[in-house]
Structure 1
């Protein structure tokens, strides 16, 4: 199953084994941490999206950095957001992992190709299938994939099926 990315490409399969994570909340990545420089590059890109403001997460630890979409742009369905207009947050635990909301088919593709896993609230039947954890990445190639998935989350929150080609 593949819906394509905002730029029309399918997700590549992630190399290696999946990081260890907790099976309950708080949902955290336990190994294979992303280098700090890659985390900061991702954050810079996330906060550079049009109509996005950064702030605390409404559903995670205080050190977690969240992106919130301007209400006038937040045309996505309720399950495109974790709380209010928060569509993604980067964990402050040093792992580089993040939670995002993705369209259901895209979330399934990210899981199938090894870039993501369901949030535990999904497996418990308490949250939408759109909520996934994206693993912290260890290299520039992975950063490109994670960035694409964040852009897909942003487009979902905006009520778009995809972003315009660059």
Structure 2
């Protein structure tokens, strides 16, 4: 990603074939898992974001770890959140994939770049089109792209 503000990100294309995913909930990535150390580095960065507390997801499987904004910092629009003040969660299945909310134009860029896909609930009218799943990062370069998208989600939720 270019070094712009998180709200102005440009998403580079993902190389290789798309990973397999489930077409329904739970919406998970089924293959192309990244190394555990890359996933650990991503979570470490995510957990250190300003105004964030970590905890269980209010909407995902129990193994997922979520980012919740402090209520006073949650100034973003309703579609910046998955549930309550949760704006992102990292799946605990070893895939490194995560769900988050992004501004609509950026969510569309993510999908067009092959770095993620809309949650199936969007097609059913049960979720905002801002809800996307990012595919888990497979290496340090992909980690940087995913990290910038997490930062954009954080900014969209309010504190940036």
Q: Distance in 2 between matches of 1:5 and 1:123?
A: 30
What TM-score, normalized by structure 1, do the two folds share? 0.91
Matched residue SS, 1:107: helix
Q: How does the TM-score come out when normalised to structure 2? A: 0.94
| RMSD, aligned CA | 1.4
**Structure 1 residue 11: deviation in Å?**
1.3
8 Å Cα contact 2:7/2:156 also seen in 1: no
Provide the aligned length of Structure 1 versus Structure 2.
157
Change (3 A) 1:62 1:52: same
Segments of 5+ residues of structure 2 without an aligned counterpart are: none
Counterpart of 2:37 in structure 1 is: 37
1:22 alignment partner in structure 2 = 22
Give the number of the structure whose residues are more often helix, by fraction: 2
Equivalent residues of 2:57, 2:66 under 8 A apart: yes
Aligned ranges 1:1-166 → 2 under 5 Å: 6=6, 8-158=8-158, 163=160
Structure 1 gap ranges (5+): none
Any idea what SS the aligned residue of 2:89 has?
strand
Structure 1 residue runs of 4 or more that deviate by more than 3 Å after TM superposition = none
Q: Distance in 2 between matches of 1:7 and 1:124?
A: 27
